[in-house]
C-alpha cells in the first residue's frame, strides 16, 4: 500500500511536554471511532511500544480493529512519560502513529510540527500522511490513494510472480458521533504455487472470494487472478461507553498471526457490531451474514445461500500484563432470515437455544493472555467447548 511519510519528533522541551499532557485531559474514553485497518503497520508498532515501555494502554489487543483515538492518545502519553527511555526508532514509530491519526490531535502544529512544510497544489498533502483532508469543528475527512506493486520469482518456476494493486481509502467523522470508513482495492496478481494450489482447490482467493482469470501480456502469464476487495462501515457513538457499527468488513479476535477464535482470512462479510467499554472490560457483539463467495457459476437471478453467526467476546484486562477473555460463537442456517432471538446481546446462549429447540454449531472458549514485559510473546491457555447437534434430521456444519 502507499507508504506514508513521517518525521521524527522535535527535541523535547518542558513546554512541549506540558502541551501533550493537556491534550490527554479533556478527552473522555470513547468506545467507537473509526478503526485502524487490519494488517496495518500500526499493530506491531503499538504492541512493541507497550511491551518495551511498560506504560499501560487502554487498548485491548485481543480485539481488533484498534480505536484510532486510543492509539493517538497512547503514543502522546508514552512520549510524555517515557521520554528518556525512547530510542530513535521509538520516536519514528510514535510519529508514524501521530501522523496516521492526526484528526485526534489538537491544533498544535506550532509544537508538534505535524503539518507538511509544502502542500501539493495547496490542497493536497497538507499533512504528511493524508493526500486530502478536511478539518472543521463538526466534520473531518481523510482520503488517500493506495498502491502496491510487487514483483518476484519463485524458485523452480520460470514465470514471474507479481501483485498490482490500486485503490483508495476514505474515512471521516461528523459531530464526533458519526464515523464512516470505506476502501476499495483492485488486484491483478500471480501467486506462488502453494497459494494458487489452494485457490484451485477451493475456487476462492484467500481474503477475497470471487475472482476472474487474468492473463498478463507484460509478464507473459496466463495463470493470474483478477479480483477486488471492498470494505465500508458506519459507526455511531451512542453513549460515552457504547458504540454501534454496521457495514461490510473483516474482523479479528485473539492474538497471533492467525487467531483460533475469529480470523480475517475470509472475504468481507455484512456485519452489525455492538461495542461496549467500561472500566477494565471490553465487550463486543458481532452478528454476521455469511455467503459462500467463490468462482462457482451461479445461474442468473439465483441468490447465494446464507448462514449467520452471532459472536460474543468479553475481555477483562486484569493487569497491564494479564487479560482474561470469554469467547462464544453460534453459527446457524436459516433459509430466509436471521434468527432474531440471537440478537440478545447478553453472553451465554444456552437459554436461547433451548427456547428455539434447534441448537446449531456452537463454540465456547475461555482463555488468558499473559504478556511478560520485554517480550512480544503471548502464552495462551484455555478451555474449549464445541457442540454439534442434529437439527431437523441433518448435522449442521461450520
Question: pLDDT tens digit string along 242-269?
Answer: 999 999 999 999 888 888 889 999 899 9
pLDDT(131) > 80: yes
Confidence category of residue 221, pLDDT binned at 50, 70, 90:
confident
- The string of pLDDT tens digits covering residues 270-308 is 999 999 999 999 999 999 999 888 877 666 667 788 899
Mean pLDDT of the chain: 80
Mean pLDDT throughout 361-390? 55
Q: What percent of the chain has pLDDT over 90?
A: 48
φ, ψ for residue 31, nearest 5 deg: -85, -15
- With beta carbons less than 8 A apart as the criterion, state whether 304 and 292 touch: yes
Distance from C-alpha of 257 to C-alpha of 145, rounded to nearest angstrom: 26
Q: Where are the domains of the chain?
A: 1-123, 131-235, 238-398
pTM metric for this prediction: 0.83
- The string of pLDDT tens digits covering residues 42-52 is 999 999 999 88
Neighbours of 345 (CB within 10 A): 13
- Specify the pLDDT at position 73: 93
Q: Where are the beta strands (DSSP E) in the chain?
A: 63-64, 132-135, 139-153, 160-174, 178-190, 212-216, 221-237, 242-249, 252-253, 269-278, 281-290, 307-319, 322-332, 361-370, 381-387, 390-391, 394-395
Q: Which range is most confident: 12-16, 33-37, 103-107, 375-379?
A: 33-37
Length of the chain: 398
- Sign of the CA dihedral 339, 344, 347, 349? negative
Taking the CA atoms of the chain, what radius of gyration do you get in angstroms?
23
- The string of pLDDT tens digits covering residues 152-195 is 998 888 888 999 999 999 999 999 899 999 999 999 999 999 99
pLDDT(128) > 50: yes
Residue-by-residue DSSP string for 9-32: PPPP-HHHHHHHHHHHSS----S-
- Specify the pLDDT at position 274: 96
pLDDT(387) > 80: no
Distance from C-alpha of 136 to C-alpha of 72, rounded to nearest angstrom: 19
Amino acid at each position: 500500500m502507499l507508504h506514508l511519510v513521517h518525521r521524527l519528533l522535535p527535541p523535547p522541551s518542558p513546554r512541549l511536554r506540558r502541551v501533550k499532557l493537556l491534550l490527554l485531559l479533556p478527552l473522555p474514553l470513547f468506545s467507537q471511532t473509526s478503526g485502524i485497518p487490519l494488517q496495518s503497520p500500526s499493530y506491531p508498532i503499538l504492541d512493541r511500544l507497550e511491551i518495551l515501555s511498560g506504560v499501560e494502554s487502554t487498548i485491548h489487543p485481543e480485539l481488533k480493529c484498534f480505536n484510532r483515538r486510543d492509539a493517538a492518545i497512547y503514543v502522546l502519553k508514552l512520549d510524555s512519560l517515557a521520554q528518556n527511555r525512547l530510542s530513535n526508532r521509538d520516536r519514528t514509530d510514535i510519529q508514524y502513529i501521530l501522523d496516521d491519526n492526526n484528526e485526534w490531535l489538537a491544533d498544535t502544529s506550532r509544537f508538534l510540527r505535524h503539518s507538511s512544510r509544502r502542500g501539493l497544489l495547496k490542497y493536497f498533502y497538507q499533512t504528511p500522511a493524508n493526500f486530502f483532508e478536511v478539518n472543521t469543528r463538526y466534520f473531518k475527512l481523510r482520503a488517500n490513494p493506495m498502491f502496491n506493486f510487487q514483483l518476484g520469482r519463485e524458485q523452480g518456476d520460470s514465470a514471474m510472480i507479481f501483485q498490482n494493486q490500486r485503490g483508495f481509502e476514505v474515512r471521516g467523522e461528523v459531530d464526533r458521533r458519526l464515523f464512516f470508513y470505506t476502501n476499495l482495492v483492485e488486484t491483478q496478481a500471480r501467486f506462488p504455487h502453494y497459494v494458487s494450489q489452494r485457490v484451485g482447490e477451493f475456487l476462492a482467493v484467500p481474503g477475497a472470494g470471487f475472482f476472474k482469470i487474468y492473463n498478463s501480456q507484460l509478464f507473459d502469464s496466463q495463470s493470474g487472478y483478477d479480483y477486488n476487495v471492498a470494505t465500508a462501515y458506519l459507526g455511531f457513538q451512542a453513549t460515552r461507553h457504547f458504540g454501534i457499527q454496521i457495514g461490510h468488513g473483516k474482523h479479528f479476535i485473539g492474538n497471533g498471526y492467525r487467531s483460533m477464535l475469529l480470523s480475517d482470512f475470509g472475504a468481507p462479510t455484512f456485519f452489525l457490531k455492538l461495542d461496549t467499554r467500561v472500566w477494565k472490560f471490553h465487550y463486543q457483539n458481532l452478528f454476521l451474514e455469511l455467503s459462500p463467495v467463490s468462482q462457482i457459476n451461479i445461474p442468473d437471478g439465483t441468490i447465494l445461500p446464507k448462514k449467520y453467526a452471532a459472536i460474543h467476546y468479553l475481555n477483562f484486562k486484569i493487569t497491564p500484563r494479564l487479560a482474561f477473555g470469554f469467547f462464544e460463537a453460534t453459527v446457524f442456517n436459516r433459509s430466509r432470515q436471521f434468527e432474531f432471538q440471537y440478537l440478545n446481546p447478553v453472553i451465554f446462549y444456552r437459554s436461547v437455544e433451548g427456547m428455539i429447540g434447534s441448537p446449531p454449531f456452537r463454540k465456547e472458549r475461555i482463555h488468558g493472555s499473559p504478556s511478560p514485559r520485554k517480550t512480544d510473546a503471548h502464552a495462551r491457555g484455555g478451555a474449549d467447548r464445541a457442540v454439534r447437534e442434529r437439527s431437523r434430521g441433518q448435522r449442521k456444519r461450520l
